[in-house]
Chains A and B, each alone.
Chain A
Amino acid sequence: MEQRNTNWQTIGALDDFTEGEPAAVVAGERQIAVFRIGGEVFALNDLCTHGHARLSDGYVEDGCVECPLHQGLIDIRTGTPRCAPITEAVRVFPIRIVDARVEVNVY
Chain B
Amino acid sequence: MSTERHVIVGAGHAARRAAETLRALNADVEIVMIGEEPHAPYDRPALSKDVLISAEGEQKAFIRQHDWYAAHRIDLHLSATVTEVDRRRACVRLRDGSEIGYDRLLLATGSRVRRFSGPVDQRVPLYYVRTLTDARVLRAILAPGRRVAILGGGFIGLEVAAAATQAGCQVTVIEPAPALLQRALPNSVARHIAALHVRKGVDLRLGTMPHAITYGNGHASIEIDTGAVAADIVVAGIGVVPNVELAEGCALDVRNGIVVDEQCRTNDPAIFAAGEVTMHVNPLLGRSIRIESWQVAENQPAIAAENMLGGGAIYAELPWLWSDQFDCNIQTLGIIEAQHRLVTRGDPAVGSFCVMALDEIGRMRAAISVNSGRDIGACRRLISSGTVMDQVRLADVSVSLRSFL
Report A's interface with B, CB cutoff 8 A: 20-21, 50-51, 53, 57-59, 61, 66-71, 84-85, 87
Contact = CB atoms under 8 A, between A and B. Distances in A.
Secondary structure of the B contact surface, majority rule: helix
B376 A71 contact: yes
B322 A68 contact: no
> How big is the B interface, by class?
10 to 19
Interface string B367-381: 000001110111000
A89 to B, nearest CB: 15
A59 B294 contact: no
A20 B45 CA distance: 30
4 closest A-B pairs by beta carbon, nearest first, are A59-B377, A68-B373, A57-B374, A68-B374
Contact of B373 (A21, A57, A84, A87): A57
B43 A53 contact: no
B377 A68 contact: yes
Interface of B: 43, 45, 60, 63, 294, 298, 320, 322, 324, 329, 372-374, 376-378, 400, 402
B254 to A, nearest CB: 29
A84 B298 contact: yes
A13 to B, nearest CB: 21
Contact of A69 (B294, B298, B324, B402): B324
A57 B376 CA distance: 11
Given A53-B373, A68-B373, A87-B63, A59 B322 contact: no
A58 B402 contact: no
A71 B402 CA distance: 17
A66 B298 contact: no
